[in-house]
Amino acid sequence: MAEPIPVDRLNEWYDELTVEIIERVCAPDSGCLDIGAGGGEILAHMRRAAPQGRHFAVEPLPHYAEGLRRDFPGVTVWQAAAAATEGRDSFVHVVSNPGYSGLRRRPYDRADEMLVEIAVDTVRLDDVVPADARVDLVKVDVEGGEVGALRGAAELLRRESPVVVFEHGGDHAMRDYGTTSDDLWALLVDDLGYTIHTLAGWLAAEPGLDRAAFAKELRTQWYFVAARGPLSARTPEE
């Protein structure tokens, strides 16, 4: 039996598995969408795996968005937060830990995080991603706002059936968004016909999770894969 991954190394492990998934999914001309792109660490792997593809990134923090435009001149970057509706909203910038920033507060590991509220644009990805764009892979890291972000991209998901790698910390991380894990399941599985896997399970071509298994995995994991069709069981040789 494999040794469990230490908690303090889980994020690094998730990143390693995400890179494997990118390499598995992407052809040289694949298109990718990075929702909550931050400093572009995952976007760089998308570009490397699909150098001929058309790529998109969404990032609300101004300094990160500016850096993405500078470092990835061929990528379309929206300085905005992905949401279910277009407009303006307040955004919690966690200055002491920017990766925790989001449209709403979420539980933080430390009690002394430095929070600053800023105003940001919100976009529906169905409104801004061109209808003719090929999108084979989507990454979502929005600190509890994943239901809103994916609702705003529902037509894109139906049309392109991309593999979706998403962070999801369960109900406690979403409480200020007014959404739950049940809402996420209903959107991805019941409405859009996706199957949800752990990252390692998808890479091993294991069957997808049922609702009870997903709830069990949420006790110890916070990154998952949603896939439709044959990619749900894709193996390295395919």
pLDDT tens digits for 12-23? 888 999 999 999
pLDDT reading at 6 higher than 80: no
CA distance 115 to 100: 10
* Percent of residues, the chain, with pLDDT higher than 90: 83
pLDDT reading at 106 higher than 80: yes
Considering all CA atoms of the chain, what is the largest pairwise distance in Å, rounded to the nearest integer? 49
3-state secondary structure of 183: helix
pLDDT reading at 189 higher than 90: yes
pLDDT reading at 5 higher than 70: no
What pLDDT is recorded for position 111?
Answer: 82
Read off the tokens for 40: 């572009």
The phi, psi pair for 22, rounded to 5°, reads: -55, -45
pLDDT reading at 145 higher than 70: yes
What pLDDT is recorded for position 238?
Answer: 45
Q: Which DSSP category does 96 fall into? A: T
CA distance 154 to 150: 6
Q: DSSP readout, 205-234?
A: TPPPP-HHHHHHHTTT--EEEEE-GGGGG-
What pLDDT is recorded for position 7?
Answer: 60
pLDDT reading at 196 higher than 80: yes
pLDDT, mean over the chain:
92
pLDDT reading at 8 higher than 70: no
Averaged pLDDT, 192-207? 96
* Percent of residues, the chain, with pLDDT higher than 70: 92
pLDDT bracket for residue 120 (50, 70, 90): very high
Read off the tokens for 170: 């369960």
pLDDT tens digits for 38-60? 999 999 999 999 999 999 999 99
What pLDDT is recorded for position 12?
Answer: 85
Contacts 24+ apart (CB under 8 A), 72-80: 72/40, 72/43, 72/44, 72/47, 74/47, 75/43, 75/47, 77/37, 78/121, 78/123, 78/128, 79/120, 79/121, 80/120, 80/121, 80/122, 80/123
What pLDDT is recorded for position 233?
Answer: 41
CA 61 to chain centre: 16
Tell me which amino acid residue 208 is.
G
- Record the pTM: 0.92
